[in-house]
Amino acid sequence: MPINYYITLALCLFAIGVVGVLTRRNAIIVFMCIELMLNSVNLLLVAFSKMHHIAKGAAATAGSDGQLFVFFIMVVAAAEVSVGLAIIVMMYRNVHSININFLNRLKH
């Protein structure tokens, strides 16, 4: 399968994520859109590493570092989501809302 398909799919996923982050007010959906963007990047990394492995198959480690990056991103994203969700829970307890536009009180 040509690499263009992967890239197009990743771009679409990323664009959907960006538009979701920019337009939605619900903090959880914003989070999900961020995950979508991360995953589109992960998809690209995996696709490129696979291509790399085919092109330079002689080297023992060829293409494995891209997949390692993907693992790192997953771990960091999981940690981020756990912290972010905790903040959102605390926020909901205090103001009974998870609308991100409601959270601009610090400027006053």
Partner 1 sequence: MNNVLDIVYWIPLLPLLGCIINGLGRKSLSKGAVGFIGSGVILASFVLSLWVFFQVRGGNVHTAEYFPFINVGNLKIPFAFQIDQLSAIWLLIITGIGFLIHVYSTSYMHDERPEHFGRYFAYLNLFVFSMLLLVMGANFVIMFIGWEGVGLCSYLLIGFWFKKKEYSKAANKAFIMNRVGDLAFLIALFMLINKLGTTTFSEIFTKASLEKLSGKEIGAITLLLFVGATGKSAQIPLYTWLPDAMAGPTPVSALIHAATMVTAGIYMIARANLLFSMAPATLNIIAIIGIATALLAATIALKQNDIKKVLAYSTVSQLGYMFLALGSGAYVAAVFHVMTHAFFKALLFLGSGSVIHAMGGEQDMRKMGGLSKYMKITNLTFLLGCLAIAGIPGFSGFFSKDEILAGAFAKSPVLYALGLLGALLTAFYMFRLYATTFKGSFRGTHEQEHHLHESPAAITIPLVILAILSVVGGYVGVPEFMAHGAHTLSDFLHPIFKDSYALLPAHEADHSTEWGLAGLSSVLIIVTVIIAWIRFSKKPDLEPASGFGKVLENKWYVDELYNAVIVKPLNNLGLFLGNVVDKRIVDGAVNGVGRLVRYGSRQLRWLQSGQTGSYILMMVLGMVLIFIVQFFLRK
| Site residues for partner 1 per CB under 8 A | 18, 21-23, 25, 30, 100-101, 103-107
| Min CB(64)–partner 1 separation in Å | 28
Per-position DSSP letters for 35-80, written without gaps between them? HHHHHHHHHHHHHHHHHHHHHTTTSTTTTHHHHHHHHHHHHHHHHH
User: Least distance (Å) from partner 1 to the CB of residue 103?
Assistant: 7
- In the complex with partner 1, the residue whose CB is nearer, 22 or 60, is 22
Residue 58 has φ and ψ, to the nearest 5°, of -65, -40
Of residues 21 and 73, the one with the C-beta less far from partner 1: 21
For 52-90, b/e burial (b = at least 16 CB within 10 A) is: bbeeeeeeeeebeebeebbeeeeeebeeebeebeeebee
Which CB, 96 or 105, lies closer to partner 1?
105
Nearer to partner 1 (CB atom), residue 13 or residue 30: 30
**Least distance from partner 1 to the Cβ atom of residue 98, Å:** 12
Minimum distance, C-beta of residue 87 to partner 1, in the bound complex (Å): 12
Residue count of the chain: 108
